Structure 1
Amino acid sequence: MKNLFVITGGPGAGKTTLLNALSANGYKTIPEAARAIISEEIETNGDALPWKNKQFYTDKMIAASILDYNRATASQPNEICFFDRGILDAVCYADMIGYALSTETIEKMLNCPYNPKVFILPPWKEIYQTDNERKQDWQEAEHTYFQMKSTYEKYGYEVINVPIGNIDERKEFVLTQIK
């Protein structure tokens, strides 16, 4: 879909801050499914957590990401929309933990195309922090960035590095790229 843009990268690179800035400018944004799942699982003492049951967590991320995609395309399909991570982020995570996805899951994922331009935020040590939902260390954050880049390229997307800079510079960079 030509108006559906993914903003991805490793943890703590500023994706959510960028999405919030785009939303403040009137753009439709879809929050990251993974953080919502982790929050809910912590609150309910659930098992679908990356530090408990990684496969269950991955399945929930993929299902939630596909649902978010379908909701975004059903309502105002021509509206520009930015996703805080895409379905391929969950596919990448599955690869990283050695979890082989079913053919059916891969087919569902392939039926949810985004704009060919995917924006990736590189690791930025000065802003990186852990929290209740983000427990990865700096090395894992860097590794995730390279894995995400590789995964999107493997599926034919043009991965565009969003330069490190203040939020207005990053937002303007993205908006210039989509025009």
Structure 2
Amino acid sequence: MRYIITGTPGAGKTTILRGLAARGHVTVEEAATAVIAAEQARGDSEPWTRPAFIAKVADLQRRRQEQADAGPGGVAVRFFDRSPVCTHALATYVGHPVPSALTTEIERLAREGVYDRHVFFVRNLGFCEPTDARRITFEESLEFERLHEETYRAFGYHLIDLPAGPPDERVALVEETASRLAAGTGCPACP
């Protein structure tokens, strides 16, 4: 099973992924942050302002998903920090056209059932601290959160809310819910 963890920038996704990794789960880091860091190292301080950025992120997401699948055998559950659906929301948010490669990738995800249709949606913490890769105000992050939620629902995903709270409680909720979903015993966080 492959589960997506998404939400607004600064909501705590990376902290949750690190907590899951510390508990022995396979996790895959966010691609956009890696693309931004690589482009900034080449001298482009704002790579997200260029339309080619979207295709680069989508390409890295696919490669990372394939690498995770080729990893250790017997690993039943993998957690991904964002997905190509997030990249679609990002393209919309920054006003870039959605490249055909991203549309094709999202279609592949649906056709092949790559990710579980339940997505862990990490709610904002009430603030957003800027970084070199995250230059967004808290107010802007709320709009980005809304857009992500709409985009995932439009593509037919069911969102499992992870409310603000201590990281260990959020990690435990993800772990428990994913375990129940994988076992086919239902979603304790779903209505």
Structure-1-length-normalised TM-score: 0.90
Q: Distance in 2 between matches of 1:153 and 1:78?
A: 28
Match of 2:102 among 93, 99, 105: 105
Q: After the TM superposition, list the runs of 4 or more consecutive aligned residues in structure 1 that deviate by more than 4 angstroms.
A: none
Structure 2 alignment gaps of length 5 or more: 181-191
| 136-145 or 70-79, larger mean C-alpha shift | 70-79
User: CA–CA distance in 1 between the matches of 2:74 and 2:102?
Assistant: 23
Identity %: 26
Partner of 1:150: 150
Provide the residue aligned with 1:21 in structure 2: 19
Change (3 A) 1:25 1:172: same
Change (3 A) 1:104 1:133: closer
Q: Do 1:130 and 1:136's aligned partners in 2 also have CA atoms closer than 8 Å?
A: yes
C-alpha deviation, 1:57, in angstroms = 1.3
- Partner SS state of residue 176, structure 2: helix
Alignment correspondent of 1:69: 65
- 1:1-179 equivalences in 2 (<5 Å): 3-46=1-44, 49-50=47-48, 52-53=49-50, 55-75=51-71, 76=73, 79-112=76-109, 113-126=114-127, 128-178=128-178, 179=180
Give the deviation of 1:124 after TM superposition.
1.2
Contact 1:66/1:109, CA 8 A, preserved across alignment: no
Q: How far, CA to CA, are the matches of 1:109 and 1:67 in structure 2?
A: 14
SS class of match (1:111)? helix
CA distance in 2, matches of 1:108, 1:11: 23
* Aligned mates of 1:6, 1:85 — CA distance in 2: 6
Q: Is the 8 A contact 2:55 2:102 kept in 1?
A: no
Structure 1, unpaired ranges of 5+: none
With the length of structure 2 as denominator, give the TM-score of the two structures.
0.84
Cα distance per residue 1:53-96 (max 9 Å; x no partner): 2x111111111111112222233475211011111110111122
| Partner Cα distance (2:74, 2:8) in 1 | 28
Residues 102, 58 of structure 1: CA spacing in aligned structure 2 closer, same or farther, 3 A cutoff? closer
2:189 alignment counterpart: none
Change (3 A) 1:166 1:61: same
Aligned residues: 174
1:103 & 1:134 partners in 2: Cα distance?
Answer: 26
Corresponding letter in the other structure for 1:61:
V
